[in-house]
Amino acid sequence: MNTLEVAQEYFDAWNRRDGASIAATFAAGGTYEDPASQGPLQGDAIAAYAAGLFAAFPDLSFEIASASASADGLVAAQWIMRGTNSAPFMGLPPTGKKIELKGADFIQVDGDKVRSVRGYFDGGELPRQLGLQVVVQPHAIGPYRFGTAGHGSSGKTTKPGAISITNLLARSPGEVAKVREYSQKISSAMAAMPEYIGHMGIVIGNTMVTLTAWENAEGPRKLLTESAHAAAMREFFGPDLAAAGYTSVWVPERINPMWLRCGACGKMTDSEKYAGTCSCGVALLAAPPYL
């Protein structure tokens, strides 16, 4: 095979959606690397990486827009990747959205095998096409660390009668993804509980914190028996999940009223005391949830 034929065999393996066949096109010790691979991959790791993409995008395909080879066996190929996100991706539920991502591979061919592949594409384009946020921020500045947060709400404006806190320290990004999967299931269960008001999940590096507002302390007590929560606790107290963690339930000593600013006179008004009407006589906006 000539250089371009070897590169075409590599892309054909991708279009067959066969991770083992992709890995087989590489020479011993051959490497694959792209903006999402977190460094060079070899052998079975290449197959596993491809399999993860095929799981999330079962119809994944590559169209080669152009390909050229140099005398030293380097192939430069521009491609368009297409697929439908019909299964979980990056620990998130499927969006059902179709993606079309443009990129380029530089493929070093050695005989009839691939010595290395370096892929280039906009790392933020895929999540943007899936309707996901792309947050650019430092991991840390001095003593301060940064991360991401999510929020769920029942829509109730009830004052919380209890706040539960869960804090887990994961051992790896893989464990962070596993905790996210559990959290999604547990969140769905909480939303169906009558005591639930709202919750906030925070991820900073490998530290994961959940704050949940309840009408009373009976809510978090009931949650202990929910199947996904019970499964997570079994893993936590076994050998399989987290380096450390704790849970707790706090009962508030005092929760102040929700203050609302009047759109007419600009005055802050105690929404409970004045029953949703400013002293100037203008109706206030609906009070937001406490959490």
User: Domain for residue 136, yes or no?
Assistant: no
| Same domain for 106 and 180 | no
Q: What is the domain-level CATH number for residue 202? A: 3.30.70.100
The token duo for 285 is 């906006």
| Same domain for 172 and 212 | yes
Among the listed residues 39, 58, 47, 48, the one whose alpha carbon sits nearest the alpha carbon of residue 13: 47
| Same domain for 167 and 184 | yes
Q: Which domain holds residue 289?
A: 257-291
Q: ∠31-32-33 over CA atoms, to 5°?
A: 125
Q: Which residue has the tokens 């140099």?
A: 70
| Same domain for 285 and 225 | no
| Same domain for 230 and 123 | no
| Same domain for 153 and 92 | no
Query: Does pTM top 0.75 for this prediction?
Result: no
Three-state secondary-structure class, residue 271: coil
Three-state secondary-structure class, residue 216: coil
User: Domain for residue 134, yes or no?
Assistant: no
| Same domain for 48 and 92 | yes
User: Domain for residue 140, yes or no?
Assistant: no
Please give the Cα distance from 29 to 115 (Å, whole number).
8
Please give the Cα distance from 127 to 133 (Å, whole number).
7
Q: For the chain, what is the domain count?
A: 3
Q: Which residue has the tokens 């380096």?
A: 243
- Among 96, 129, 162, the domain-final residue is 129
- CB distance 276 to 285 below 8 Å: no
Query: How do the pLDDT tens digits run along the chain, 291 residues long?
Result: 899 999 999 999 999 999 999 999 999 999 999 999 989 999 999 999 999 999 999 999 999 999 999 999 999 999 999 999 999 887 778 999 999 999 999 999 999 999 999 999 999 999 999 998 888 889 899 999 999 999 999 999 999 999 999 999 999 988 888 898 899 899 999 999 999 999 999 999 999 999 999 999 999 999 999 999 999 999 999 988 999 999 999 999 999 989 999 999 999 999 888 888 998 999 998 889 998
Which pLDDT belongs to residue 199? Answer: 96
| Same domain for 262 and 244 | no
User: Domain for residue 115, yes or no?
Assistant: yes
| Same domain for 31 and 124 | yes
Q: What is the domain-level CATH number for residue 106? A: 3.10.450.50
Phi-psi region of 3 (alpha: psi -120 to 50; beta: other; left: phi over 0): alpha
User: Domain for residue 227, yes or no?
Assistant: yes
User: Domain for residue 37, yes or no?
Assistant: yes
